Chain A
Amino acid sequence: MSLDLPLIWAGLIATGVLLYVLLDGFDLGVGILFPFSRNKEDRDVMMNTVAPVWDGNETWLVLGGGGLLAAFPLAYSIVMPAFYLPVILMLAGLILRGVAFEFRFRGQRRGRPFWTAMFAFGSILAAFAQGLILGGFIQGIEVVDDRFAGGTFDWFTPYTLLVAAGLVCGYALLGAAWLMWKTADELHGDARRWAVISGVLTALFLVGVSLSTLVVHPVVAERWGWTGGGLDFGRFLPLAWIPLLGLIGLGLVGWGVRRASHGWPFVGAVLVFLSGYAGLAAGFFPYVAPYSVDFRAAAAPDNALALMLVGTVVILPLILAYTGWVYWVFRGKVTPEAGYH
C-alpha cells in the first residue's frame, strides 16, 4: 500500500492552520477588544482568560510555518518573500502582544499603560497583517522559474485591505464570544454587546469579500459556478453547504446572544470561521502558492514526508490530548479573584 504523502501533508497543514486561526483567533480577538473595556480590573480578567493558553495557541502558527517549510519547501520559499512586509508586521505585532502578558503585570506607573496599549496594538496589527497575507493569497502570487517574481507591494490593494479589515472583525467576534463563555457579570454583558457589533460587521465583510472575490479573481469565480454574469448551479450546489454553514454560524451567534447563552455564540463563531476556511479551500485547492504551484509540485521528497508522518501520527494525538487537558484545567469562568498574577 502506498500513501499519497503530499495529499496527507496538505491536509495536515491545512488542519494546523485552521486550528491556529481558531485558537489564536480568540486570543488575538481579546486583544482587539481591549480598547473597548471599562477599566483595569476588566482588562486583567480579559487577559487572564487567555494567559495560560496563548503560548500553546501561537505554537500552531509555528507549526503552520514550520510544517510548510518542511513539507512544501518550494511553497514556503515562494510565499514568504511574496508577503515579506506583512509577515514582518505580523511578527512585530505578535512580539509586542506576546511580551505584554508578563510585562503588563510587571510594569508600574508608566510601564503598565504602555503594555496595555501594546497588547491591543500588537493584536490588531498581527490580525490585520494576517488579513493582508490572506488577501494576497487569494489574489495570487506571481511566480517565475519556481521563485517569487512579483513586486514588493503586490499585497497592498483595496481587496487585501478589505480582507484584512474583515479578519480583524472576525477575530473580534471570536474573542467576544470567548469572553461571553469565560466571564461573568458586567464584563459578560459587555462581551455580549461586542459580539453583536463584531458579528454584524463580520457578516457584512463576509458578503463584501465573497462578492469582490468573484470580481477580482475569475478562476475562483469559475469554481463557484459564476461565469459571465450567470450562475451555473451544477457547480455551485456541491459547494452550497459552505455559505449555508456560515449562515448557520451567524444565526447561532445571534440566537445565542439573544438568549444570553454563554457557550453557543462561541460555537457559532467557530462555524463562521469553518465556513470561511472551507470557502477558501474550495477556491485554492490544489494550489499552495496560488495559482501556479500546486501541492504536488511543492512537496518535499517522499522520504522526508514519510519520516515526519511517522512522528506526527504518534505525537499529534498526544499534543491534542494535553492541549485539551490544559484547557480542562483552566475551565470555568475567570473572575477578578482568579488572580493568576
Chain B
Amino acid sequence: MALEYDALILSRLQFAFTVAFHILFPAFTIGLAAYLAVLEGLWLRTKREAYKTLYLFWVKVFAISFGMGVVSGIVLSYQFGTNWSEFIRLTGGVIGPLLAYEVLTAFFLEASFLGVMLFGWKKVGPRLHFLATCLVAIGTSISAFWILSANSWMQTPAGYEVLADGRIVATSFMEAIFNPSFPTRLAHMLIAAFLTTALVVGAASAFQLLRNRGQEESRLALKMAIGLIAVLAPVQVLVGHESGLVAKDHQPQKLAAIEAYWETDANHPLILFAIPDRATQSNHFELAIPGGGVLVAPADEVVTGLDAFAPEDQPPVFIVFWSFRVMVGLGVLMLGLGLWGAWLVWRKRFADDRLFLRFAVLMGPSGFVAVVAGWVVTEVGRQPWVVQGLVRTADAVSPVTAGSVATSLLIYVTVYAIVFVAGAIYVLRLLREGPVAGAAEPKPEGQRAPGTPLAAAPEDAPGDPS
C-alpha cells in the first residue's frame, strides 16, 4: 500500500510538473499566432515595412516557442496512459473523442502549415503564406477549444452515465462537450493567452524603447500591446468572475477553498489575507473586509463552506487560496498597466515615460505566472477528484511502481531543464536584439547566403562539430 501511495504522489508531481511546463507555451503561442496573422494581414494591406519587420522578428520567437510546445504536448497525450491509465479506462469513452478531435481538427492543421509559415516564404505567394499563418493561428485556438472542453468536463461532468462496471459513457456528446463550465473557462483561457502575448510583446518593445526611444517597430508594437491589454484586462476580470459563479453552482468546494470559507453561511467577509489550516479547519492571521463577500454572492445568499465536506473531500485550501490571490493580484496590475498605457498613448507620451516602460518590462512574465496560478486554482481546487464527484484522483493512477515513476520524473526534470534553459536563452537573446528593419529580408532563391531568412546564423570556424 505504501508503494502505491508513493506512485500516486510521484505521478501527481510529474503531471503537475509536465503540465505546468507545457501550458506556458500554448498560453504564449495562441496569442502570438494570432498576432502574427494580424501583422502579416496589415502588411499585405498597407505595405508598411514596419509590420513585415515585426512579423519576421516575432516569427522567430514563435518558431522556438511552438517547437517546445509541440514536444511537451506529446508527453501529455502519452502520460494519460503511462500514469493515469485507470482514469482513461473509466472515462475514455467520453474524454477520448474530445482529445481525438483535437488531434484531427487542430494538431495536423498547426503542424502542417507551420512548415509553410516558417520555411515557405519563397515557395508560395504572399497570399498563400498569409493563409498558412492564419490556419496556424486558427489551429491553436481550435486546440484550446477541445482541451478546455475535456478539462471542463472533468470539472463539471454532463451528458454521461455510469455503467455497472464503473466505466463512464456519454449519453449526449453535445451536453458533454458544452458542459456547464466550458464556455466561461474557454473564454477565460483564450483571453489569458492573448494577454500573455500582449504582455511579452509590450515588455520586449518597452525594453527596446528604453535603449532607443525612436525605434519605429517597437513604438508600433508597444502601442498595439497597450491597446490589447487596456481592452482585455477589464474583460478578463468580468469573465473570471463569471467563471467563479459557475464554480459556486457546480463546484462549491472549489469556491469555498478559493475564498477560505470554512463555514456555510450568508454575508461572508472578503478575506484578503489568511493562512488556511486544514488541521484546525480554520484560518490563522485572517485579514478580511466585513460584508465584502457581496463580490461572491448577494449578502443574503447562503454560500457553501468547507464544513459541508468531510476533511478527506476538501481540496488543499492553502494552495488554492493563495494561487487565486497571485492570479488576481497580477490581474489587477495588468489592469493598471493597460489604463496607464492607454492614458499615455492618448497623451502621445508612451515612448517617453521611462517609469512606465520599466513597469511594462517588469510585467512581461506576469501572464505566464498568472496562467500557471490559475491552472493551479482550477486543478487543485477540484481535488480529491480527477473527475468531479465521479472518479477520485487516487483511483485514477496506473498500476506502475514508484521506482518507475521516480525514474521518469527524474528524466523529465533533467530533459525539461536542459530544454527550458536553452529555449529561454535563445528567446531572450532574440528579444535583446529586437526587430531590425531589413535584417531578415527574404531574397529570391539562389541570391542569398545560407542563414536567411529566419535566422542569420553566424559562421563557424572550420572543423566545428556543429
Which of B112, B400, B426, B457 interacts with A81 by CB under 8 Å? B400
Beta-carbon nearest neighbor of B397 in chain A: A81
Q: Which residues of A contact B77 (CB under 8 A)?
A: 62, 65-66, 69
Which bracket fits the contact residues of B? 35 or more
A303 touches B74 (CB 8 A): no
Beta-carbon nearest neighbor of B108 in chain A: A319
Which of A52, A84, A301, A312 interacts with B93 by CB under 8 Å? A301
With A and B bound together, what is the CA distance between A334 and B464 in angstroms? 22
B99 at the interface (CB under 8 A from A): yes
B404-430 CB contacts (< 8 Å) to partner A = 404, 407-408, 411-412, 415-416, 418-419, 422-423, 425-426, 429-430
Number of A-B contacts (CB under 8 A): 273
Q: Which residues of A contact B99 (CB under 8 A)?
A: 66, 69-70
Which of A59, A85, A87, A106 interacts with B107 by CB under 8 Å? A59
With A and B bound together, what is the CA distance between A119 and B180 in angstroms? 45
A77 at the interface (CB under 8 A from B): yes
Which of A71, A95, A315 interacts with B104 by CB under 8 Å? A315
B450 touches A69 (CB 8 A): no
Q: Which residues of A contact B429 (CB under 8 A)?
A: 106
Q: Given that A52-B116, A77-B81, A77-B85 are contacting pairs, would A95 and B96 also be in contact in the complex, using a CB cutoff of 8 Å?
A: no
A152 at the interface (CB under 8 A from B): yes
Q: Which residues of B contact A301 (CB under 8 A)?
A: 93, 169-170
Q: Which residues of A contact B78 (CB under 8 A)?
A: 65, 80, 87, 91
Q: Which residues of A contact B80 (CB under 8 A)?
A: 69, 76, 80
Could you tell me the distance in whole angstroms from the C-beta of A197 to the nearest C-beta in chain B? Answer: 22
B329 at the interface (CB under 8 A from A): no
A329 touches B75 (CB 8 A): no
A76 touches B423 (CB 8 A): no
A87 touches B82 (CB 8 A): yes
Q: Which residues of A contact B75 (CB under 8 A)?
A: 91, 95
A40 touches B74 (CB 8 A): no
With A and B bound together, what is the CA distance between A269 and B426 in angstroms? 38
Which of A62, A106, A113 interacts with B64 by CB under 8 Å? A106
Which of A52, A58, A103 interacts with B120 by CB under 8 Å? A52
A40 touches B466 (CB 8 A): yes
A146 at the interface (CB under 8 A from B): yes
Which of B67, B113, B450 interacts with A98 by CB under 8 Å? B67
Q: Which residues of B contact A101 (CB under 8 A)?
A: 67
B426 touches A103 (CB 8 A): yes
Secondary structure call for the B interface: helix
Could you tell me the distance in whole angstroms from the C-beta of B135 to the nearest C-beta in chain A? Answer: 9
Number of contacting residues on A, CB 8 A? 80
Q: Which residues of A contact B105 (CB under 8 A)?
A: 311, 315
Q: Which residues of A contact B71 (CB under 8 A)?
A: 94-95, 98-99
With A and B bound together, what is the CA distance between A32 and B119 in angstroms? 23
A98-141 CB contacts (< 8 Å) to partner B = 98-99, 101-108, 111-113, 115-116
Beta-carbon nearest neighbor of B410 in chain A: A88
A312 touches B104 (CB 8 A): yes
B100 touches A70 (CB 8 A): yes
Could you tell me the distance in whole angstroms from the C-beta of A20 to the nearest C-beta in chain B? Answer: 12
Which of B64, B112, B169, B445 interacts with A303 by CB under 8 Å? B169
Which of A56, A79, A91, A339 interacts with B451 by CB under 8 Å? A339
A341 touches B455 (CB 8 A): yes
Q: Which residues of A contact B451 (CB under 8 A)?
A: 339, 341
Which of A105, A148, A304, A312 interacts with B96 by CB under 8 Å? A304
With A and B bound together, what is the CA distance between A92 and B418 in angstroms? 11
B104 touches A316 (CB 8 A): yes
Beta-carbon nearest neighbor of B459 in chain A: A40
B89 at the interface (CB under 8 A from A): yes
Q: Given that A329-B124, A339-B451 are contacting pairs, would A106 and B92 also be in contact in the complex, using a CB cutoff of 8 Å?
A: no
B62-113 CB contacts (< 8 Å) to partner A = 63-64, 67-68, 70-75, 77-78, 80-82, 85-86, 88-89, 91-97, 99-105, 107-113
Q: Given that A113-B464, A152-B401, A303-B169 are contacting pairs, would A73 and B88 also be in contact in the complex, using a CB cutoff of 8 Å?
A: yes
Q: Which residues of B contact A58 (CB under 8 A)?
A: 70, 74, 111
B89 touches A74 (CB 8 A): yes
Q: Which of B73, B95, B111 is most buried by chain A, counting CB atoms within 10 A of its CB?
A: B111
Beta-carbon nearest neighbor of A111 in chain B: B422
A217 at the interface (CB under 8 A from B): no
A300 at the interface (CB under 8 A from B): yes
24 A-B residue pairings within 8 Å (CB atoms): A51-B118, A52-B116, A52-B120, A63-B104, A69-B88, A69-B99, A73-B92, A77-B81, A77-B89, A80-B82, A84-B404, A87-B82, A88-B82, A91-B74, A94-B71, A99-B67, A112-B460, A300-B92, A308-B96, A319-B112, A326-B112, A329-B120, A329-B123, A339-B450
B interface residues with partner A (beta carbon < 8 Å): 63-64, 67-68, 70-75, 77-78, 80-82, 85-86, 88-89, 91-97, 99-105, 107-116, 118-120, 123-124, 169-170, 173, 398-401, 403-404, 407-408, 411-412, 415-416, 418-419, 422-423, 425-426, 429-430, 445-446, 448-455, 457-458, 460, 464-466
Top 5 nearest A-B pairs (CB, nearest first) are A73-B92, A80-B81, A70-B96, A52-B115, A112-B466
